[in-house]
Amino acid sequence: MAEVELAMRIRKSGETRLRPETRLQIATVAGVWILWEALAWSGLFYRDIVPSSFKVIVAMGRLLATGAFYGHLGTTAYEVLVGFAIGAAAGVLLGILFGARPFLGRVMNGYILALAPAPKVIFLPVLMTAFGIGVGSKIAMAALSAFFPTVLSTAAGMALINPTLIKVGHSFNATAVQMVTRIYLPALVLPVISGLRLGLGVAIVGTLIAEIKLSNAGLGFIAIQYYERFRIPEMYAVIVIIFMLAAAANWLMTRLSDRLGRHGMPSSAEISGAA
Amino acid sequence: MRTGIMRAGTRALIVGLGSLAVLIGLAQVAVSAGWISRFILPAPTEIWTAMLELFAEEHPLQAAIATVGRTLSAIGLAIAIGVPCGWALWRYRTAGRAYEGWLGALFASPKLLLYPLFLVMMGRGFGTLLVMGWLTAVIPIVLKTREGLVSVPPVLIRVGRSFNLTDRQMLWKILLPSAAPVIFTGIRLSVIYTLIAIIALEFLLNLGGLGGLVDNLYDRYDIPGTYAAIVLVLILSIVYFRIVERIQAWLRSS
């Protein structure tokens, strides 16, 4: 199978030259890079305001060679993942609850819709007074950020569940736990995954913003520390790493939802097996 | 049937507001009794006093106007540049195919975290705020303008040709009106994300507006004042999004 694919790819590349848009993309990258280097070496800017990409790469290499970097990476990953897990779990459970109890859903809907688009960073002072400036407030920030997309997406998914499925569950006298694991969750896989993808994205932003604002560890902390010491190539290196990690997280979640989408919804047995 | 739904909606509203009132009452009791530290959650009455002080001393209305003004300038700038860029991506198809994926990736990326770069280049001021707001606002507008133009039915374009319209007439009489609903979707997205970005940056960089007000009060460790200012940010965002919804409904009906 793989060999056939490879052979086809080789034949294709032999037959056609690079597509025009690919050539334009390559030209754009090259053009922007040359312009950037020209600006960096022109001396028009105060030193390192536009750092040469070589300096950034060297800085990145040095950064990745230090042990301290992995400590900060670990702190950020811990904050994002724990906060995301808390916010996502609360979002899924409350989303199911609001969907299963329409009146409660209607009561809460106004509050959630009012809070969902508000900038969550603004709660940072509250979270810092409650949980301190360390890891606690960052976890809380990630949880708060992840909660809203998850609960909205889950509740929207609940509204789309075929009512017959729910009636079948009730007529079998399913318990609340059975209703959740056998009826709701299997039908909710796709909306929940898409909510989780958005939630993970905003949890990453929330955590890093909180670290940049006030903290003593994490990738956001070292980025802003380099800024304050005017070590700009190092600051660029940290930001590039943050963007690559965020892109990787997004890619993983997209792949997960594509896989589940392509193979249709997994059976309830698979779900309860996974849980 | 309709009145039934309305009644259920009103009942939900009453229960919702009632539970909020009960929650506030419980918070008041818990704080006065000392179960929760006043430095973590000030009593609701204290927040109310702080709110009155805020209005007497800190000019929160001007701050709110500044925040909205910055948001709208960033969006205006984004429309002025984004719509022509979207048109160019439609007109020059190779460019459209080359850059659409990149713009989509940039839209999904945590752009807000780029602000230290602009801080270095432009300093901690209005420029950074405007560029970051613009960057947030422009991407959905470019993408949706292109999408809207791509979806213009070919029949309409042929009609325009058969009337021998000039390129300019074609743009104003056929392409833009037909693409307008999709372009408005892009503007709506940018209207939502830009307010969030502007308030966040005002808070992070202490650059005035309501976000800066929250940061100032927190710096002074005025916790009741901070809570009051956060409530104002929430009210601003609720009112703002209500107005956006109204405008959208009005555009759809007309």
ipTM of the complex: 0.86
- Do both B98 and B143 map to the same domain? yes
Interface check B175 vs A, CB under 8 A: no
Inter-chain residue contact B226 with A108, CB threshold 8 Å: no
Residue A124 with chain B: CB contacts under 8 Å: 203
B34-88 residue pLDDT tens = 888 877 888 888 899 999 998 988 889 999 999 999 999 999 999 999 999 999 9
Chain mean pLDDT for chain B: 88
pLDDT at residue A132, as a whole number: 87
The dihedral built from the CA positions of residue B129, B132, B136 and B139, taken in this order, carries a sign that is positive
Looking up residue A173, the CATH number of its domain turns out to be 1.10.3720.10
Could you identify the residue written with the tokens 């698979």?
A270
Q: Is the pLDDT of residue B172 over 70?
A: yes
B167 with B219, same domain?
yes
Q: 3-state DSSP call for residue A275?
A: coil
Is position A260 within any domain? yes
Asked if residue A29 belongs to a domain, the reply is no
A122 falls within a domain: yes
Determine contact: B55 vs chain A, CB below 8 A. no
What phi and psi, each to the nearest 5 degrees, are found at residue A66? -90, 145
List, for residues B212-227, the tens digit of each pLDDT value.
999 999 999 889 999 9
Is B43 inside a domain boundary? no
**Domain check: are B157 and B33 in the same one?**
no
Do B19 and B140 sit in the same domain of this protein? no
Residues B127 and B201 in one domain: yes
Q: Which of A115, A125, A250 sits opposite B214 (nearest CB)?
A: A125
The answer to whether B234 contacts A114, with C-beta atoms less than 8 Å apart, is yes
**Res. A273: pLDDT tops 70:** no
B214 vs A122: CB contact, 8 Å cut-off?
yes
My answer on whether B25 and B137 are in the same domain is no
Domain shared by B22 and B81, yes or no = no
Domain contains B233: yes
Please tell me the total count of domains within chain A: 1
Is residue A9 included in any domain, yes or no?
A: no
Q: Predicted confidence band at B250 (pLDDT cuts at 50, 70, 90)?
A: confident
**How far is it, in rounded angstroms, from Cα A59 to Cα A184?**
50
Q: Which domain holds residue B30?
A: 2-38
Q: Which residues of B touch A116 (CB under 8 A)?
A: none
Based on the fold, state whether residues B95 and B211 are members of the same structural domain: yes
CATH number, residue B176: 1.10.3720.10
Q: Which domain holds residue A85?
A: 74-274
Phi, psi angles (nearest 5°) of residue B190 = -70, -35
In chain A, how many H helices and how many E strands? 13, 0
pLDDT of B247 reads 87
| Cα separation, B226 vs A60, whole angstroms | 39
Domain contains A36 = no
Q: How far apart are CA B168 and CA A149, in angstroms?
A: 42
Could you give the CA distance from residue B193 to residue B200 in angstroms, rounded to a whole number?
Answer: 11
Cα–Cα distance between B75 and B130 in angstroms, integer?
9
- Of B193, B41, B123, B206, the closest CA to residue A214 belongs to B206
B161 touches chain A (CB under 8 A): no
pLDDT per position as a tens digit, A156-207: 888 888 788 888 888 888 888 888 888 888 888 888 988 999 999 999 999 9
Please say if the pLDDT value at position B1 is more than 60: no
Is B45 within a domain? Answer: no
Chain-wide mean pLDDT for chain A? Answer: 85
Interface test with B, best of A22, A49, A129, A242 (most B CBs within 10 A): A129
Residues B107-118, mean pLDDT to the nearest whole number: 87
Residue B212, in any domain of the structure? yes
Residue A15 banded pLDDT, cuts 50, 70, 90: low
Based on the fold, state whether residues B9 and B113 are members of the same structural domain: no
Longest CA pairwise span in chain A (Å): 77
**B111 and B221 in a common domain:** yes
> Which residue in the block uniquely carries the two structure tokens 């325009």?
B160
Residues of chain A in contact with residue B40, where contact means CB-CB under 8 angstroms, are 129-130
Query: A173 lies in a domain?
Result: yes
A34 located within any domain: no
Q: Do B58 and B33 belong to one domain?
A: no
Look at residue B156 and tell me if it is in a domain. yes
pLDDT for the residue numbered A4: 58
Flag the least confident range among A178-187, A264-273, B1-10, B167-176. A264-273
Residues 72-131 of B with CB under 8 A from A: 94-95, 97-99, 102, 105, 108-110, 112-114, 116-117, 119-121
Please list the alpha-helical segments (H only) found in chain B. Answer: 2-32, 44-57, 60-91, 93-108, 115-122, 126-150, 154-162, 167-169, 176-205, 209-219, 223-253
Question: Is residue A61, in this structure, part of any structural domain at all?
Answer: no
Residue B47 lies in a domain: no
Q: How many domains does chain B have?
A: 2
| Residue in chain B nearest A205 by alpha carbon | B110
